[in-house]
Structure 1
Amino acid sequence: MKKIILLLFVSYFLIYCQKKTEKLTPVKYISKINIEKQIYSKDSLTLVSSIQKDISEHKGGYHSKTFDAETLIIIDTIMYSPNNERIFFFVITKSQNKKLYPKEMSEQEMSEASKYSNLALDGSHFQGKAYVAYKKNDTILRTQFYGITTSEYENIESVRQRQRNIFFKEFSAVNEKGYEYNVDDKRFWDNDYFWDKMNRELENEKEFEEMKITNPENIYENPRSR
């Protein structure tokens, strides 16, 4: 029990103390793609269905059992490439705080552990993830988990602000190849290194799914689990 409490405290301390470096997108490069409201709404519904599938199968960014059929899914922001063939979108989920704790914990143990968290035991929390999607002839063919998850917040606005900070301010400040441009930068869509990497990971995912069917005895865990 003491180990669980200590882990919760250390995790919160590390998140709180992280220093973020920001690099804003120059105004002249900010992407402005106009999408018809009808198309945006249609895509939103498709993306919700895709995330529901990931949650039900515990795939993509939803391997944790914290996510289940009761998880509320919100497609917060959809960004389109100029040719409308690629999408970068933010997902926000709402779940009960009790589901953050192991199922074997008693109500009393959860109540004690929750004293070291900023989330009320009987409340809910919001969490954000980033995904990409691929379209052809105005139809979304596939979604793909990008890999960044926010902390748990007690309100949705905090998640929205954190996601925008990550992808519109901090992304291009990362000193690594593939992070040259923020996601709201029109040049982001022409960043071949980033999209080639995503395509390679997509191929790895396909191979993994095929392997599960043809050679299930060789499968231990999803290589995209994070």
Structure 2
Amino acid sequence: MHIDGLLETVPAVAVYLLVGGVIGLESLGIPLPGEIVLVSATLMAATQDHINPYVLGACAVAGAIIGDSIGYLIGRKGGKPLLEWLGRKFPKHFGPKHVATAERQFQKWGMWAVFVGRFIALLRIFAGPLAGVLKMPYWKFLIANVLGGIVWAGGTVAVIYSVGKVAEKWLSSFAWVGLVLALLFGLGSMLVMKRRQKKAEAAEEAAAGTKAAPEAATVVD
């Protein structure tokens, strides 16, 4: 069976639930490839008429908002022990350096950290739980959460769907190429964010070392 025929057998409801579920769990604090799933599903919508892009976008937005809200409530109730537990379960995502960096971003930017964090893989996982741990007022969190979810999920679907429709004939003939490109796009985004994160951590460590040196000299004197 050609891949187009195979994709047509996938129920639209299953695609909607998968997108909403994965994005919701990622927003809740579980490291999952939400962006990759969303981009791949949107490319499917561009080439498969039975998948409605509006419903897909609505499910993605709902998953983002609900997942973040649940993460906020869990963080509010669980506090620091929750972050320590997540650090043991997911050391590559919730290690002490990651938590410290995310905390500084939240303390510095507040609501903007929740909104902008929706577009950054690391902060997208942290936003809900960490906002709860840091006792951010829920109304502030909710506003940033809703706006971020709509702009990120809705915007991603709109852009990728538009690009997909423009190249619909090409994608319909080589659907697997579109899916591979979506996967590479998501992986590339993750690698770029990890590289930026490492540079930021190195700069912060260097700044901390520079600050500690004069203090040590003062103690010696």
Please indicate, yes or no, whether the TM-score normalized by the shorter chain is above 0.5. no
Higher strand share: 1
Say which structure is richer in helix: 2
Using CA pairs under 8 Å that are at least 6 residues apart, name the structure with larger relative contact order, 1 or 2.
2
Rg: which structure is higher? 2
TM-score (norm 2): 0.29
